[in-house]
Amino acid sequence: MENRPSILTAQSATRPSTMKARRGKFSGAIGNEVYVNTKHDPVMRSRPRRPPPTTPDRLRARANLGRVASLWRTLSDQQFAAWAAAARKQGMLPNRFFCQINGTLAADGQPRLLDPPIQSRRSKSATSAGRLR
């Protein structure tokens, strides 16, 4: 019997494989592929992926990001516009730029910023002369 497409996604339930036809029943895992005998045909599936184990550092990073994301939702319109302008200069999305800056500060145990950091502009004449390095 052939693989029938799923009703919801119209995709095959299993991917086509180059599985050799074996005599008799075979099941087990080789590498990242799992061989299963169904009532119709043998089937090859990819091994299920498990999330990495949680460690105290990962839990701390997740909590920091949650606090930073909740802080993002409390910004005023003026603060949002300032973060959007600063993120545009960096070529990033405002939310990601805010989370990058404040996530780093949270990881170091420093207070978060509600206004974007001020970047100093160097004049072209000063940098070309080599005075600012």
State whether the Cα torsion 76-77-80-82 is positive or negative. Answer: negative
Taking CA 2 as the corner, what is the angle to CA 11 and CA 27, rounded to the nearest 5 degrees? 95
Least trusted range by pLDDT, from 26-30, 65-69, 109-113: 26-30
State the Cα–Cα distance between residues 96 and 123, nearest whole angstrom: 28
* pLDDT for res 127: 43
In a domain, 83, yes or no: yes
In a domain, 79, yes or no: yes
Per the structure, the complete domain to which residue 69 belongs is given by 56-117
Q: If you write DSSP's letter for every residue of 4-17 in order, what string do you get? A: PBPTTT-SBSS---
In a domain, 3, yes or no: no
Average pLDDT on 4-28 reads 59
7 pLDDT band, cuts 50/70/90, is: low
In a domain, 66, yes or no: yes
Cα separations in angstroms, 74 against 5, 111, 115: 47, 16, 12
Number of domains in the chain: 1
Q: Measuring CA to CA, which residue among 99, 90, 98, 95 is closest to residue 61?
A: 99
Torsion from C-alpha of 53, 58, 62, 65, nearest 10 degrees: -150
Residue that has been written with the tokens 């404040």 in this structure = 102
* pLDDT for res 30: 80
In a domain, 126, yes or no: no
In a domain, 14, yes or no: no
40-97 pLDDT, tens digit per residue, is: 888 888 887 888 888 999 999 999 999 999 999 999 999 999 999 999 999 999 999 9
Pick 103 or 24 by higher pLDDT.
Answer: 103
* pLDDT for res 97: 94
